[in-house]
Amino acid sequence: MGDSESCSSRAVDFAPGQSVQSRKQRQKVEVHNEILCRLRDLNIEEANFPAFEDELWAHFSRLPSRYDVERAQDVLMHKRLLEKARDPACRPAIEVRLVQVHSASDGNRVESVKFAREADPQGSDYPNKKRHGYFLLIPDLLNPECFLCSFFCIAPDSRVHPPPAFGTLSDLELLHEDKRGLKDMDVVNNVKPIHSGLMHEITIATNDKPKLLTQLTSFLSEVGLNIQEAHAFSTTDGYSLDVFVVDGWALEETEQLRNVLIKKISKVEVVKVADFGVARVQAQSGVMTAETGTYRWMAPEVIEHKPYNHKADVFSFGVVLWELLTGKLPYENLTPLQAALGVVQKGLRPEIPKHTHPKVVELLERCWQQEASLRPEFSEILHLFQDFSQDVEEKL
């Protein structure tokens, strides 16, 4: 391959005395240019589109500098998943595949092994070389300053699966790999038996949020997966890219695993109700505190200091549901007192957007009935949401 800079219009600045931020930016440019060259050398049609270079740079720019991917094709996969995650109907975007994992075993302990890779048509971006395998540098016990070099040859048909996206070699180690020969090969100080096996790699792109990685790892464990590696990246525009290497699932059931994840992983994003400072256990008797709450969310009977029951919470739930639908403050153009007077005296309610699903419109209107007895029970609301969710899933 030629100089990676020749593939891209983005030059790499090697000026001395650069700041940490400048060095990270330079690293991104180096990796971007190298990936672009590899994709074009592989005759990937997309890589020759006029806007592709800018799109690829936007992909690297939104991710942290530690985003080091071994294969250029994996960058395309990550780019596609993040683009797909922008559509709420496609979120989370998930890819599941089998990957070939190499490790060194020492009793019950398994460690990743760093190799100097040469001409691996399935694991690299250089498919034209016929011999492929791994060089391993072993310390010469008679002379500690010297190393013995061994080449482990792998049959051409023994690696039909790619390595993990974040494999044993980083992008910087792969830069100009075809030029540097053996002098830059990694060293393994403690020689252990080399093992190769298949595992599943799961890549998830979705909205970023606090504790997302914890929720995802918990979910994967619950479905019986053992996480061997986890790589989490937050983008600058509010998305996340999480990659897991796992075992614990039948290798021949990759598609079934993907279906399970697509169907159930959205349940990780659970809405939890908090702040029970003025909550109470529901009882058949007793007088509830008058005018408890905030005007914008209060039912008419609460505002007027009239007797009320749990149906006042149904009214407030409708306002919260409207907030989730619109992302706006109820009666944002009115003061809280003006809103309260409007609700009681003029039947004022938040304006429902025109694009709202008819079933949601009906539910909101029922929750906001002036007469509390006409509002639905929460048990009915739960069944309505379950039916609505099932209808949506069947249409996807």
Domain boundaries, the chain: 1-62, 63-268, 295-395
For 205, the enclosing helix (H) or strand (E) is strand 194-207
Q: What is the DSSP letter of 50?
A: T
Burial class (CB in 10 A: 0-12, 13-18, 19+), 157: exposed
Q: Can you name the residues that pair with 300 across neighbouring β-strands?
A: none
Threshold 0.95, pTM exceeds: no
CA angle 118, 119, 123 (to 5 degrees): 100
Q: Cα(43)–Cα(128) distance, rounded to whole angstroms?
A: 13
Domain 295-395 is found in CATH 1.10.510.10: yes
For 242, the enclosing helix (H) or strand (E) is strand 239-247
Q: Cα(138)–Cα(147) distance, rounded to whole angstroms?
A: 5
Q: Which two structure tokens, joined as six digits, stand for 134?
A: 């791994």
Could you tell me the maximum CA-CA distance found in the chain, to the nearest angstrom? 95
For the stretch 138-189, pLDDT in tens is 444 444 444 444 444 444 434 478 888 886 433 333 333 433 333 333 433 4
Neighbours of 134 (CB within 10 A): 22
Each of the 396 residues of the chain gets a pLDDT tens digit; together they read 444 445 666 655 555 555 666 777 888 888 888 899 999 999 989 888 989 999 999 999 999 888 888 789 999 999 999 999 998 888 889 999 999 887 654 444 444 443 333 334 344 554 433 334 444 444 444 444 444 444 444 444 344 788 888 864 333 333 334 333 333 334 334 444 445 689 999 999 998 888 888 888 888 988 899 998 899 999 999 999 999 999 999 998 999 999 888 877 766 555 555 555 555 555 545 455 555 568 999 999 999 989 889 999 999 999 999 999 998 999 999 999 999 999 999 999 999 999 899 999 999 999 999 999 999 999 999 999 988 888 877 776
